[in-house]
Structure formats: C-alpha cells, structure tokens
Structure 1
C-alpha cells in the first residue's frame, strides 16, 4: 500500500452501491464471526473438559468482558466516522491528526481502565449475583482478561481507523491470526495443561497481544498513511473534541445495552447453575445471530461517513436499504433454527440434559430479537455515519434503562421461573425501538430534502 494512494484505492463513494456494500461488508462479517469465536471457543472447551461451575463462571465472566469491549469499540467507532468523513473529503492531514489523537488517547485510557477494572472485579461479580460455586473461577477469568485491556484497545483502534479509511480486509486478517492462536491456546492450556478457566483467559489475552503487535509491524512495513512511532503519538485537541463528541455517545449506548444484558444475567444467576448456563449459551448465539446486523451496521457507518463527507447523501440511503435487506435475510436463518430445533443449538455448547431442558423456552422466546435488532442496528449504523450519535445514544439508553431493565425486573419478580416471559422482553423492546427509529429516519429524510430544495432556489 503506497502512501497517499489508499484514499482513492479505498473510496466508498464511487461504483455500484450493492457491490461496494457487499465487498466492504464481507470482511466485516468474517472479522466479527472470527471475533465471536473467541468467547464461543472458550465456552466450548470449558463445556467439554470442565465442570458446570466452570461453564457458569466463563458465561458470567464473558458478559463482564463484553461490556468492556463494547465500550472500547463504541469509542473507536468515533475514529471510523471521522477518518471516513475526512477520507471522503480527501483531507490527508486531518486523517493523520485523527489517527495520532485516537492512538494516544486509547493508550492512556487502557492503562487507567485496566487498574480500575482489576479493583472492581469482585464488586461487579457480586452485583451479577454470580453463583457461589462459580465465584472464584469467574474472578480468576475476569482478572486475567482485564490484564489484556491494552491489547483490546490497540487492536480495536487500529481496526476502526482502517475501516474508516475504507479498508475492511486487513482488520479481518489481524483478527483471524488472533483467533487461530486463541483456539490453539485454549486446547493447549485447558485440555493439555489443565488450567481450566485461567487457561482460556490466558489464551485470549496472549492472542490479542500478538494480533495488535502484528498489525503495527505490518502497517509500518507497508507504508500506511500514518507511521506508528512514539513521536507521532500526540493529541490534537480539536480532533480529540470531535472524537469525544461522536464517540462517547456511541460508547455510552453500547454500555447501556450491555448493562441491560448484565442485569438479565444477574436475574438468571439467582435461578441456579442450569439457568445461568442456559442463558450464557444463549448469549453466545446472540452474538452469532446478530453478527450480520452488527457487521452491516458497522460497514454502513463507514460508508455513510465517507458519502456524507463527499456530499452524496442519496448514495448513503441506498446503502442502508441494501444493508437492511441483506442483514434480515441472514439473521432469519438463526431465528428459524431456534424456532424449529432449539435443543440442537444448546447441545453445541453443552450436552447436559438439565441445561438443554432449561434453555429451550428461553431460546424460543429470545430468538425473535435476532430479527428485531437487525432493524435497530442497521438504522443506528447509518445514523452514526451521519454523526447523529446523540439520537442513537438516547434511543439505546431509553431502550435499556427505561424499558428493558424495568420489564426484566417486573417479570422476574412475579414469574421468576418463567424463562419464556423473561426471554420475550428483549425482542419486544427491540421491535418498539425499530418503530420509533424508523419514524425518526422518515422525519430526518424529509427535513434534509426540504433543506436541499431551499438551497437550490
């Protein structure tokens, strides 16, 4: 990749809309699929070679680490939006300043976050009502994973920058390397060395470290637009303000959604090991089933940012319609599987008859969310690309704090053993959010059309 060439090479503002969306989204889907394999492989290996207490520990611990990852990816998405906008404008110096500011801020934030989370590990696990037999195991898992926050920040920052720049293929390759190492490490440290939950956690942070370092070395060798050296790591305060304005609302909305699911975990943990394990397995399928929507949403953010930066809003809207169609078709396959044979879904991760029996009603109900969140994610991805992150933040916080958490509390209080009703809450809230986001988009489109009409007169 020659310096200065990549802006035109990875231009998302020209060519056939469907082709650009498809070719740009596929590496997103592959990267997110590979990343989802992290937790899935961890749970698979633990389920095969360790006790139900270990399964519950990794399930709960993964929920905790996911909220950290969601917060980080939300913040880094601000970089995708700004780099995408400046790429559309062909403003090379602004791109470099944004990259330098992003990497510097995230390096400092990672160190602070690591210390804070290590101190907060026990209180968080207590808040989640982690079952007593699994508590020490869950603590071991999250503390080791927290030591890898620096690498999570580094990898996600670099990937977000590349995607905003129009390159979704290289982040996929970096995460593929990491996942391969993680799988090897899981089997070597759990089955081979007998380290249990500590083994899967060590494999995770080790593979993430290698991925981040490999990305930096590769990009420097290929003369990327930004050279990864200490003298280039400095903060441009104007860009820092832009990143905060765009990135913090996205990070907050991601955290609120994760908090609502953490609350669900705390509720089901009170119901015992089998319910906790069943919901933990369901959370893995949430990641896979919603992966097409998540990937398309992230791709739409970069595509929309570049096209709005280039003054092509109609092209961005066409990309949204194409993305919605593709993501819904993909997510519906998981929904059909959950409706027709939920027991086979659960058996992939655990063949314990009690976990399967407990999980079937929850899977059948919660799987409707696979369809509902597809609508929400894609529309939010488009709006984020337009830098309308305040709306998506308010919408997500409203859905999580005002609707999902209170409803889970009410249902679990009156019918605590009814996993069908508990599982129905997420899709009901998501469908409602999709409805009012659609209305907002229609209003926004009409307002934009009137503004363009007035500017031509």
Structure 2
C-alpha cells in the first residue's frame, strides 16, 4: 500500500527542506492565534483587555504546546509503523493515541478551569486585568479538544510525509480567526469573549477539515471497530513518547510563567 513518496530515496537535502519547512512555518503560525487576538483587542477594546490577553497568552500557549508536543511525540511511532508498513498496528496506534490524547486533553481542560484563579493569583495579576483574562481563558480551556484534534490529525499526516496539507489548513484557520475576531468584536461588540470564541471556532474548523481530509485521502490511517483493542505495550510507548515530547515542547512557556 503506497500512501506518499518514499522519503528514503532521492536528494536528501531537498527531501529535508520540503519536509521541514512546512513544520517550521506551522509552529510559527500555531502561535498566531494569540497574536491576532492581541491585535484586535488592543485596537478595538481597551488597554486593560490587551494586558489581559498578554497574560493569558503565555498560559494558553503552555496548554497548546503541551498538546502539540504530545502529538509530535506520538508521530514518531506513526512514522516508524508507516515505514515498516505495519498497517494493523498503525491503526491500533491510531485508536490508542487518539483515546489517550482525548483523556489527557479532557484532564487539561478540567485542571485549567480549576486552577485558573489560583494561577492568576500566583502571577500577581491585577484585579482589573484578571477579570478579562478569566473570561478569555475559560473559553480557550473549553476549546482544547479542538486544539488536540487538529494537532493529532496534522501529526499523523506529517508522520507519513504530508507536511504541506496541515500548514495550508492552519493558514486558512488564521484567516478565519482574524475575520471572526473582527466580526465578533467590531461588529457584534462581544468584547474579549468574542476573540476567544473566534479562536476556538477557527481551531474547530481546522480540526474538522484536517480530519475529513484524512478520512477521504488516507482512510487506512484511521481506526475502525476491529482496531479498538487494548495493547498495554503500545499504550505505554505512546504515553512515554507523548509525555516526554510534551514536556520538551512546553518547557519554554513553563519558564516564562516562572519569570
């Protein structure tokens, strides 16, 4: 079964550039959700709200990169199984990684909501800023499942060598985010709540489009009913790769919060 071109053949330098450049750009665009929100909030709401989204941005990016880092770790397993052409095990890993990721993401959402006020206290956030930051982050936390679904789909695609499609989907999501920010804040006057809602909606759009693309073009990567089996060894490997990569990816924002 052939899905993508064989990346082990041809000019190595060209293969690396074609494979890595969309990955680099994707990591940059992933951080633009908060940047776009900051631009709209600073221009059309208030300086206090702008300060709030600055505080919220570091917290939001911490959770985002925990999720994307975990998915990056899991993609190593997918790439290994794809290279070995172990399709049955690959689909089983698809089920286990998706289930494990959903469980962890739900836990992150709950932890985020429960620790929101204490965390803002620890960060010594002024009261007037905290009110805006709480409204923004509550919506972001509730939208973390959409963040996970996009990152999971994109990492599966990247594992088989398709790094361009997730990038283009992310670019369209950025455009949608900016448009919805303008619509919600400037036209509908929804305030900082609208910018957070625009971010979640655009992430949901990206996740749905990415998943449908996989379902149409690469259905062999998605699990079916017979693939829903528990495999302790594979699950432990998934958890190990995912958690280590998540810690590595999020370490920058953990440091920024300490500062």
- Alignment-derived partner of residue 135 in structure 1: 130
* Cα-to-partner distance string for 1:163-207 (whole Å, 9 max, x where unaligned): 111111121122123222111111111111122211110000111
CA distance in 1: counterparts of 2:203 and 2:9, whole angstroms: 34
* Secondary structure class of the residue paired with 1:225: helix
| 2:2 equivalent among 5, 10, 20 | 5
Q: 1:234 to 1:160 in 2, by over 3 A?
A: farther
2:157/2:163 contact within 8 Å kept: yes
Residue 322 of structure 1 is matched in structure 2 by: none
Do the aligned partners of 1:86 and 1:95 also contact (CA within 8 Å) in 2? yes
Choose the corresponding residue for 1:255, options 246, 250, 259. 250
Structure 1 stretch displaced more, 90-99 or 102-111:
90-99
State the secondary structure of the residue aligned to 1:14: coil
- Name the CA distance, whole Å, in 1 between partners of 2:223 and 2:212: 8
Partners of 1:103 and 1:88 in 2: how far apart?
20
Equivalent residue for 2:34?
39
TM-score (norm 1): 0.54
Contact 1:79 / 1:99 at 8 angstroms: preserved in 2?
A: no
CA RMSD of aligned residues (A): 1.8
1:77 and 2:72 equivalent? yes
Whether the 8 Å CA contact 1:104–1:233 is kept in 2: the answer is: no
1:165 corresponds in structure 2 to: 160
Q: What is the number of residues matched between the two proteins?
A: 259
Residues 236 and 57 of structure 1: CA distance in aligned 2, closer, same or farther (over 3 Å): same
Task: Map 1:82-121 to 2 at 5 A.
Answer: 82-121=77-116
From 117, 121, 125, the counterpart of 1:126: 121
Residues 105 and 235 of structure 1 are in contact (CA less than 8 Å); yes or no, is this contact kept in structure 2? Answer: no
Q: 1:235 to 1:181 in 2, by over 3 A?
A: farther
- Further displaced range: 195-204 or 87-96: 87-96
Residue correspondence of structure 1 range 34-433 to structure 2 within 5 A: 34-227=29-222, 232-264=227-259
Higher relative contact order (CA 8 A, sep 6+): 2
1:13 is paired with a residue whose SS is coil
1:233, distance to aligned residue in structure 2 (A): 4.9
Report the alpha carbon displacement of residue 227 of structure 1 after superposing the two structures with TM.
Answer: 3.1
Gaps of 5+ in 1: 265-457
Q: Is the CA contact 2:113–2:141 (under 8 Å) kept in the aligned structure 1?
A: yes
Larger radius of gyration: 1
Change beyond 3 A, Cα 1:156–1:53: same
Deviations 1:258-297 (A, max 9, x none): 2110122xxxxxxxxxxxxxxxxxxxxxxxxxxxxxxxxx
Q: Quick one: structure 1 residues 156 and 234, their matched pair in 2 at CA, closer, same or farther if it must change by over 3 Å?
A: farther
Structure 2, gaps ≥5 residues long: none
Alpha-carbon displacement from aligned partner over 1:133-161 (angstroms, at most 9, x marks no partner): 20100000100100101111111111111
CA contact (8 A) 2:31 2:61 kept: no
TM-score, with length taken from structure 2: 0.92
